[in-house]
C-alpha cells in the first residue's frame, strides 16, 4: 500500500509512524485510518519490527481528532459504522498489537487523537501537549473507544469530568491523573519514547507479547484476566527465549533473545 498521509520508517527495528496531515493538525480522515490500519497490521506480523513509536507531524498537534468535515452529514447508522470500523481496524488493533506501542504526544491530542494515544501501550507527552475529548461540544460523544479507555486509565470521576466538560488539560495535569506516563521537554520527546522502546527491545519478544495480552485482559470484561495470565505464563515455558533467559541468568551473562 502507498502511504500518503502517514510516514512509515523502520529504524533499528522500531517502526516510526508519523501521522502526516500537518495542515489539518493531523486530523484522522478515512484514507489516513486505512493507512494506519495497514501499517499496524504489517508491524504486528513482521518479525523485524520490535516496537512502534507513534507521533504527529509538526510541532502543533499529535492528532486534533477525527476529520470533522467527513462526518458532518452522517445519520445514526453511518455514525455507528464509522465508530465500529475505526475501533476494529485501528484502535483495537493498536491496543492488541503484540509489539509495544509508545505514543509521543507532541501537541494537541483531542478527540480521536487522544483516543489513538490511549490505545497505545505507553504515553509520553511533551510539556506543551494539550489533551481532551471535546466531542460533546460538537453534539457527539467519543466513538473510537474514548469513553472506555479513558475511564479505565483514570477512573470514572476524572473521565466524567473530562468528557462532559469537554475541557482540554495540560500534559502535567494528564500525568497527575495517570493519563500519560511521562512529561518531557518538546526537544526530548522522541528520545524519551525511544529510550523506553529500546529498553523493551532487550527483553524477550514473546514474553513481551504475552504481557500485552495479559495486561489488556485485566480490563476486558469479556474474559477472566487471571485465566488469561495462567495460559500466557504457561506458553512462555515452551519458548527458546525462556531457556535462554534462565541459562543467561544462571551463567551470569546477558541473554540473547531470538523471539522464538
Task: List, by residue number, the catalytic residues.
Answer: 115, 135
Q: What CA–CA distance (Å, rounded) separates 121 from 37?
A: 17
Binding status of residue 56 toward ligand COA by CB under 6 A: no
Of the candidate residues 4, 45, 46, 69, the single one contacting ligand COA (CB under 6 A): 69
Binding status of residue 245 toward ligand COA by CB under 6 A: no
C-beta closer to ligand COA: residue 69 or 240: 69
Of the candidate residues 43, 50, 106, 108, the single one contacting ligand COA (CB under 6 A): 108
Please check whether residue 165 is in contact with residue 132, taking contact to mean a CB–CB distance below 8 angstroms. Answer: no
Binding status of residue 68 toward ligand COA by CB under 6 A: yes
Task: State the minimum distance, in angstroms, from the CB of residue 103 to ligand COA.
Answer: 17
Task: State the minimum distance, in angstroms, from the CB of residue 235 to ligand COA.
Answer: 39
Binding status of residue 150 toward ligand COA by CB under 6 A: no
Of the candidate residues 15, 35, 67, 129, the single one contacting ligand COA (CB under 6 A): 67
61-63 and 14-19 beta bridge pairing: unpaired
- List Cα–Cα distances, 162 to 85, 86, 135, 176, 249, in angstroms: 25, 22, 10, 14, 46
C-beta closer to ligand COA: residue 131 or 204: 131
Q: What CA–CA distance (Å, rounded) separates 28 from 125?
A: 19
The cell 493531523 sits on which residue? 26
C-beta closer to ligand COA: residue 108 or 257: 108
C-beta closer to ligand COA: residue 147 or 216: 147
Give, as ranges, the residues between 151 and 170 that touch ligand COA (CB under 6 A): none
C-beta closer to ligand COA: residue 91 or 108: 108
Q: Which residues bind ligand COA (CB under 6 A)?
A: 24-25, 27, 64-69, 108, 110-112, 134-135, 138
Amino acid at each position: 500500500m502507498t502511504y500518503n498521509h502517514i510516514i512509515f520508517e523502520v529504524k533499528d527495528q522500531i517502526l516510526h509512524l508519523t501521522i502526516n496531515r500537518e495542515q489539518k493538525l493531523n486530523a484522522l480522515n478515512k484514507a489516513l485510518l486505512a493507512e494506519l490500519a495497514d501499517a499496524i497490521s504489517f508491524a504486528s506480523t513482521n518479525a523485524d519490527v520490535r516496537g512502534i513509536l507513534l507521533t504527529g507531524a509538526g510541532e502543533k498537534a499529535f492528532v486534533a481528532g477525527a476529520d470533522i468535515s467527513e462526518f458532518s452529514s452522517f445519520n445514526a447508522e453511518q455514525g455507528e459504522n464509522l465508530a465500529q470500523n475505526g475501533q476494529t481496524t485501528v484502535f483495537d488493533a493498536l491496543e492488541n498489537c503484540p509489539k509495544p506501542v509508545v505514543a509521543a504526544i507532541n501537541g494537541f491530542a483531542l478527540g480521536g487523537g487522544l483516543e489513538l494515544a490511549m490505545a497505545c501501550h505507553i504515553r509520553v507527552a511533551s510539556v506543551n501537549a494539550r489533551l481532551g475529548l471535546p466531542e460533546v461540544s460538537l453534539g457527539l460523544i467519543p466513538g473510537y473507544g474514548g469513553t472506555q479507555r479513558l475511564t479505565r486509565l483514570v477512573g470514572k470521576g476524572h473521565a466524567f469530568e473530562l468528557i462532559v466538560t469537554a475541557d482540554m488539560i495540560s500534559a502535567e495535569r494528564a500525568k497527575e491523573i495517570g493519563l500519560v506516563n511521562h512529561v518531557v521537554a518538546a526537544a526530548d520527546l522522541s528520545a524519551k519514547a525511544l529510550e523506553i522502546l529500546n529498553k523493551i527491545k532487550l527483553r524477550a519478544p514473546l514474553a513481551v507479547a504475552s504481557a500485552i495480552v495479559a495486561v489488556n485482559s485485566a480490563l476486558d470484561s469479556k474474559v477472566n484476566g487471571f485465566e488469561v495470565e495462567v495460559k500466557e505464563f504457561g506458553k512462555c515455558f515452551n519458548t527458546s527465549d525462556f531457556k535462554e533467559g534462565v541459562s543467561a541468568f544462571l551463567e551470569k551473562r546477558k541473554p540473547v533473545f531470538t523471539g522464538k
